[in-house]
Chains A and B, each alone.
Chain A
């Protein structure tokens, strides 16, 4: 029945595809929210030095844990107060956006490259390649991520690079799964066969015929994995094995602030909310992109 309405509704759609897309984007509040918030956070990260006069590393042991502006006893010089070493919390929060974004983006890039390569190969070539890739995906899924990440970080010490690499090397599974099935869907379409028929090389067919048709899914997965990586880093930090101090990562700020959770909850609330908003924005962006690019799959 829904289909009946759709066909009926399609008849009266006179708008151009571009206008339609625009309407879908602006009609999708989740997507709008995601874009606006994410853009804001990116800008904050880029212009952090302009937004605060404080250095995120300068400590002042005599001015520890000054409360933020909405609490009694706050210092107007430190809008969001100071942390357990007397460092300006706002400065750490602003600079921390860089770290959290970097973790999300780079980890998603690495895992995206691995997962896409594997998924596309499996979907395109099928047969044994597919068997091997499917097997690897199974192996990867069977490994307890948090444990393995913990083990590796514990062995290699938790520098930013190590954490990003570990997350990147562990989170490729969803890319591979989604890319594989997406490629399977478009592999036998006419234009792909046509490209093959006129003798295009395999890389060319994949890059110019297949990839453009699966890139929507790729972007959606990438956003979700970004969020995933950011949350995982926070969890590692919570367990004491994330990014090393004094780097101002939000996960680290939460882990440092958690000690005082019951007494100074704002210490963990501020980076916690920042992390929550960032992950929320990325997730909404991903969901929104999926809805907009394939409204029939909404859900």
Chain B
């Protein structure tokens, strides 16, 4: 096996607030290899988006990021100057955001915005950059690509804009692409097209991809690995097969309860709801954050929770798991 292109250990993000520090992401680990797709799932506020922004180095100034390791292709992202980070972003790692309607600058043409990253990272003329833009627009399935270059974002539909966003992310053939809920703002029918497109391109260009999503149907279809986040922690991660077939964390199981048969969940279907509210992450958080909503909570859930492992990839944070259920083998 090759080394992971992205390796994250004990990534922590703190948000200082007037009322105290909010521990939005609390020590998460994951690895991602070239050509792999990692899906991060979880409900709003679980820290999925922050995690992807942290990898890109795009957290706003007030947020504090720390990690034992945050390596991209052997580069320690924690220790890079902003300048180096800028040279990586848009070139070797790229990101697609969830709001195509607002993620494009209204003041510039599609062509300008597509060319920008290419011009920033490659020694290329504007003509070359635009040619590359046309090529990629074609790749993301936009017809009459040439004429689109001089159009402005407001002249395009949401689906087209998201295709443009994807093309923009791919301009420099990144090694890692992070897609943060790229389809939530779109029509259901278009969602499927866009996701299929993403998956195809990822395979074709042999990129590593992190896909942040709510949509378990998608996860089931395209994920190699899945990380389930809850209240700032990865409560369970493993290969897609492991997560869907053998979920160990009560939260994962809660999520999966509405999709009885993995692989048959329809695209666009949302996570089932689990009663109760997410606890405050401000101040010291001890024990399992899910215990307030958990059917199988025990007094020891308030103590630090050890990580349990099974095989090379599958890991979860719960006092239950192996002992209770037994290895499914």
> Do A and B come into direct contact in the complex, CB within 8 Å?
yes
Of A2, A4, A11, A12, the contact of B49 (CB 8 Å cutoff) = A4
* Nearest 7 A/B pairs, CB to CB: A1-B60, A12-B280, A12-B282, A8-B45, A11-B45, A5-B15, A4-B49
Q: Does chain B have a CB within 8 A of A155?
A: no
Known: A1-B58, A1-B60, A2-B60. A8 touches B22 (CB 8 A): yes
Name the interface residues of A1-49: CB closer than 8 Å to any CB of B. Answer: 1-2, 4-5, 7-9, 11-12
Docked pose: A132 CA to B81 CA in angstroms: 57
Give every chain B residue within 8 A of A4 (Cβ-Cβ): 49-50, 53
**Complex interface bits, B16-48 against A, C-beta within 8 A gives 1, otherwise 0:** 010100101000000000000000000011000
Instruction: With a 10 A CB-CB cut-off, give which of A7, A9, A12 has the most chain B CB atoms.
Output: A12
Q: How far is the CA of A5 from the CA of B16 in the complex (A)?
A: 10
Chain A residue numbers with a CB within 8 Å of B17 are: 9, 12
> How far is the CB of A298 from the nearest CB of chain B, in Å?
16
**Inside 8 A of A7's CB, which chain B residues have their CB?**
44-45
B99 nearest CB neighbor, chain A only: A3
Whether the pair A12, B45 counts as a contact (CB closer than 8 A) is no
Footprint of A on B, CB under 8 Å?
15, 17, 19, 22, 24, 44-45, 49-50, 53, 58-60, 62-63, 278, 280-282
Shortest B12–chain A CB gap in Å is: 15
Contacts of B44 in A (CB 8 A): 7
Q: Which of B22, B58, B59, B62 contacts A12 (CB 8 A)?
A: B22
Contact of A11 among B53, B60, B62, B280 (CB under 8 A): B280
Chain B residues within an 8 Å CB radius of A9: 15, 17, 22
Q: B22 — which chain A residues lie within 8 A by C-beta?
A: 8-9, 12
Give the chain A neighbours of B53 by CB distance below 8 A: 1, 4
Excluding A7-B44, A8-B281, A9-B22, 5 further A-B contacts by CB distance (< 8 Å) are: A2-B60, A4-B50, A5-B63, A7-B45, A12-B282
* In the bound complex, CA of A12 to CA of B58 (Å): 24
User: How far in angstroms is the closest Cβ of chain B from A1?
Assistant: 4
Q: How far is the CA of A223 from the CA of B305 in the complex (A)?
A: 57
Task: Write out the residue numbers on chain B whose beta carbons fall within 8 Å of the beta carbon of A8.
Answer: 15, 22, 24, 45, 281
CB distance from B250 to the nearest CB of A (A): 21
B282 x A5 contact (CB < 8 A): no
Residue of A nearest to B232 (CB): A8
User: How far is B97's CA from A4's CA once the two chains are assembled, in angstroms?
Assistant: 13
Which chain B positions have C-beta within 8 A of A12?
17, 19, 22, 280-282
Contacts of A11 in B (CB 8 A): 45, 278, 280
- Closest-by-CB residue of A relative to B49 is A4
**CB nearest to A15 among chain B residues:** B19
Contact present for A1 and B45 (CB under 8 Å): no
* Bound Cα distance A11, B278 (Å): 9
A64-106 vs B, CB cutoff 8 Å, 1 = contact: the mask equals 0000000000000000000000000000000000000000000
CA distance A55 to B62 in the complex (A): 59
In the assembly, what is the distance between CA of A8 and CA of B278, in Å? Answer: 11
Cα separation A2 to B17 with both chains bound (whole Å): 13
List residues of chain B with CB within 8 A of the CB of A1. Answer: 53, 58-60, 63
